[in-house]
Chains A and B, each alone.
Chain A
Amino acid sequence: MPTIKKTKVEYEGRVEEREVIVEEEYIEPWGADAELTVVGRPTPRVDGVPRVTGRARYTHDARWPDLLVGRFLRSPHPHARLVRIDSRRAEAMPGVWLVWHRDQPPPVERFEGRPLFTEELPYEGAEVAFLVAENERIAEDALAAIEVEYEELAFAHDLDDAMAEDAPPTLLDDESNLVDPEGDTYERGSVEQGLQDADVVVDLTFTTPRAAHCCLETHGSVARWEGDHLTVWHSTQGINRCKGSLADALDMPMDEIRVICEYVGGGFGSKFAAENYTVLAALASKATQHPVSALLDRREEHLVGGYRPSSRQRVRLGAKRDGTLTLIEHEAWIGTGAYGESGPIVGGPAKDLYASPNARTATWTVRANTDAHRAFRAPGYVEGTFALEGAMDALAEELDMDPLDLRLKNYTEQSPSRDTPYTDKRLREAYEIGAERMGWRSREERRATSGVWKRGWGMATQIWGGGGGPPAKAIVKLESDGTAEVLLGVQDLGTGTKTVLAQVAAEELGLPLDRVRVVIGDTQGTPYGPGSGGSVTLASTTPAVRNAVHDALRQLFGIAAYMLDMPDEAPDQFYTEQGEIVYRPDPTKRISFVQVAAKVGNYMFVGTGARGPNPDDAAINTFGAHFAEVEVNTRTGQVRVNKVVAVHDIGRVVNPLTATSQVIGGVNMALGYVLMEERVFNARTGLQLTANLEDYRLVTIADAPVVDVAFVDVADIQANSVGSKGLGEPPIIPLAAAVANAVADAIGVRITALPITPDRVLNALRAEREEQ
């Protein structure tokens, strides 16, 4: 019988208590030395073939002969008022179906508390009109035929601008550009005490840029209405979130909405709920009785697709001579857009990475005239770790201590902010493995001292959640030929979710991997599953799969007992092995799935399972450390990353092949962040200069360093019954700090502003020379 229980669930640095329905009996976790045959093996992804043959159907590939194309007219100004709009000429053009704007609104006028088309246009790219036409060409010509008159308004384009004394309001009706003047604060002990107890204090300020997600598939939706039933293909990390938000926006019953996203070309935090284009595509599809697409082009993606917010962070650390921290203080200002809400937990690492009796964090979010920031792979923790771990290195230098020793000195076995133990923490092992593989202790022997290229080493630590939690459900169907189908309402961003679900199901069923088919990416027919964010998918869903299989097998064992002439034997007297059901006391008594299934004919065993609660009073976290070796050209300012060693503790590694790829991918995404990526604006016009993939620079294959990946790989059996935690975000967290620390080690000057471009390197060297 289902009952209700309270449990704590962490998401991107915030811990909340949820009430969850518990329906399963306790399942024994797979122990650290359980003999598993499918889980833990490097496994090529189960949907690799459609992805390499071009058959995988992404949102952008949903098309029919009668598909109409929806496009936006967007504001060309950073801040403007719409004075007049006239779309009559556009509407008269052949092939144009409809145009919606402020004076001619769609049947649903509001979305997310605001009109879909507003008079005030607070950023470049703000929606002025939505037009539906027969094809792309007609749509473009028709958009150009819409007459618009704007009144340009004063704007603030970045954090500094928006914080200035006389800054213009980002939104006319707002009194302040601060989202919440109180900010987001945390304190333990006291700052005064921490300063008093310190022998050494370092105080540094760091800045980080706005960085764009650059999903290779831009945001978009395609809607098709059939009768009362709406189907939406949405490029998303959360099919259920999209379904719920659409039902709200359109005021429709949930059972009449189906959301499909079997393949998505990247999300990285930027794609969840239905968006204005989704709602408009749905409304237009209803109005025209045709399928309608609304897909952003690359330029729109840069203008309105979101970004990691910019930040200014001040870090003050106090320590005893022996390196013991007495104070960690972190203050941050986060730069979002006109409609942005409070930014991510930039102070998370400062709160939790090290033991310090005194700690304080405070964060304020500031609005400027751009689109709003969005969650971006380890929101806040990437920025916050860059600052904290940079300050730790400055402190190590001040104390003349090895940076790794300083971190070990302040190692904590308890979660400092929650004051509870961890379910498991193996950061010490990660440090050891990483130092060994990088040759950290012998690095001085390899330091190049002559020539223009200077070599240096740096390291940094990561803490992240990834423990997941309820709710998540799974259904398992056992077919009469001994194969199984597993259904979940989740999606695979390319992280390999589908593959690990198949592995866990196959393991628990005792079937080979190719006898299990996983169905995800469609809200129709699948039970509720969480969105893929906060690295929660694996840890939330795989235990549910184990429970569902367990449920199905119990039914199967009952029939097997009967067929083996021992009808009174309890189900737990049986286990499975390679498609056979085996009697535990006497393993010669066995019968195959197929035989049992044949006996019951078309009766189908269907098991359901839910994710159980998290353990009480324990923090579930992932940890890891990155070590980087760089070379810096002191004449050109170029930074070359020779090698990265990345070691993570995520509990049991279910699929070493995809996990390794995940880490290499995270490292390279972070490499772009530390060395080259930045959304650049023209300060005079307030317009974005990097709204394409040429000016917005991404790491290419030619820039990619050697990445040596390792996992501690010990099951965290207290965390959940699979013993695994998430890996989507951890590998992007510590790299920027590790590389920045290595650059400082190489050239003897610390660069505290990202990205570390050649001109920043040269300026830092010049400033240093002038000082001397």
Chain B
Amino acid sequence: MADKVHVTTLLNGESVEFLCAPSQTLLECLRDILGLTGAKNGCNDGNCGACSVLLDGRLANSCLVLGAEADGRTVITIEGLADWAGLHPIQQSFVEEDGLQCGCCTPGMIIAAKALLDREPNPSDGRIREWMAGNLCRCTGYETITRAVRRAAAHLNGEGAEG
């Protein structure tokens, strides 16, 4: 087997080092090496968004990124969103609006929503639909997801929960 690559990354706010094969994807590194199974392998070829993470703050399909590419960069996964104080407002909104059923797409959806709201705090419904179109959901029919993102935006903008 080829030599392993040494990777240092800022993962969910903590400095993390790991060794991986040069061909291993970031998704595999997260799930198989680092034990973070929140990002899901829905297709392994960039078509479903279930593996979404933030790489230097940008939305990425971790199945299309090599683990080695994470070296020297910051990675945020779904596990990095909630803290001891409780759920992140986006997570809270997904629960309240029932923006999930089986939940398999949910970590990716929430990460995608975070990427959007981090740069555009007040997206229109049209913008939400355009932005999230790379994340497939086979269960919910999406409407509750749109509502959850809208609610999270309102909350993050200090408008409190809407009815």
Residue in B87, B98, B102, B145 whose beta carbon sits within 8 Å of that of A216 in the complex: B102
Evaluate whether A44 and B43 lie within 8 angstroms (CB atoms) in the complex, with A52-B91, A63-B37, A216-B104 already known: no
Residue of B nearest to A492 (CB): B102
Residue in A57, A216, A694 whose beta carbon sits within 8 Å of that of B37 in the complex: A57
Complex Cα gap A508–B32 (Å):
44
Q: Please tell me if A665 contacts chain B, counting CB pairs below 8 Å.
A: yes
Are B102 and A45 closer than 8 Å at their CB atoms? no
- Could you tell me which residues of chain A, from 693 to 725, have a CB within 8 Å of some CB in chain B? 693-694, 698-702, 704, 706-707
Give the total of B residues in contact with A, Cβ under 8 Å: 59
B41-53: contact bitstring with A at CB < 8 Å (1 yes, 0 no)? 1111101101000
Contacts of A668 in B (CB 8 A): 140-142
Evaluate whether A266 and B40 lie within 8 angstroms (CB atoms) in the complex, with A51-B106, A137-B21, A702-B130 already known: no
Q: Please tell me if A264 contacts chain B, counting CB pairs below 8 Å.
A: yes
Contacts of B140 in A (CB 8 A): 661, 664-665, 668
Contacts of A45 in B (CB 8 A): 95, 98, 100
B1-27: contact bitstring with A at CB < 8 Å (1 yes, 0 no)? 100000000000000000001011000
Complex Cα gap A701–B129 (Å):
6
Q: Please tell me if A571 contacts chain B, counting CB pairs below 8 Å.
A: no
Q: Please tell me if B82 contacts chain A, counting CB pairs below 8 Å.
A: yes
Complex Cα gap A593–B144 (Å):
38
Are A698 and B136 closer than 8 Å at their CB atoms? yes
Q: How far is the CB of A80 from chain B (nearest CB, A)?
A: 26
Residue in A63, A297, A661 whose beta carbon sits within 8 Å of that of B141 in the complex: A661
Q: How far is the CB of A1 from chain B (nearest CB, A)?
A: 41
Are A49 and B87 closer than 8 Å at their CB atoms? yes
Q: Please tell me if A214 contacts chain B, counting CB pairs below 8 Å.
A: yes
Contacts of A694 in B (CB 8 A): 45, 47
Q: How far is the CB of A42 from chain B (nearest CB, A)?
A: 8
Contacts of A137 in B (CB 8 A): 1, 21, 23-24
Contacts of A58 in B (CB 8 A): 37, 40, 104
Q: How far is the CB of B141 from chain A (nearest CB, A)?
A: 3
Complex Cα gap A700–B140 (Å):
11
Give the total of A residues in contact with B, Cβ under 8 Å: 57
Q: Please tell me if A692 contacts chain B, counting CB pairs below 8 Å.
A: yes
Are B40 and A265 closer than 8 Å at their CB atoms? yes
Contacts of A481 in B (CB 8 A): none
Q: Please tell me if A117 contacts chain B, counting CB pairs below 8 Å.
A: no
Complex Cα gap A48–B94 (Å):
8
Contacts of A264 in B (CB 8 A): 102
Contacts of A56 in B (CB 8 A): 103
- Could you tell me which residues of chain B, from 87 to 127, have a CB within 8 Å of some CB in chain A? 87, 91, 94-96, 98, 100-107, 110
Complex Cα gap A187–B83 (Å):
63
Contacts of B23 in A (CB 8 A): 137
Evaluate whether A53 and B143 lie within 8 angstroms (CB atoms) in the complex, with A216-B105, A266-B102 already known: no
Are A215 and B138 closer than 8 Å at their CB atoms? yes
- Could you tell me which residues of chain A, from 41 to 87, have a CB within 8 Å of some CB in chain B? 44-45, 48-49, 51-58, 60-61, 63
Binding site for A on B (CB under 8 A): 1, 21, 23-24, 28, 31-32, 35-45, 47-48, 50, 77-79, 81-82, 87, 91, 94-96, 98, 100-107, 110, 128-130, 132-146
Subset of 20 A-B contacts with CB under 8 Å: A45-B95, A51-B100, A54-B36, A55-B38, A56-B103, A138-B1, A216-B48, A216-B138, A217-B40, A264-B102, A265-B104, A493-B101, A494-B100, A494-B102, A494-B103, A657-B98, A658-B98, A664-B143, A693-B47, A702-B133
Binding site for B on A (CB under 8 A): 44-45, 48-49, 51-58, 60-61, 63, 135-138, 213-217, 263-266, 268, 297-298, 493-496, 657-658, 660-662, 664-669, 692-694, 698-702, 704, 706-707
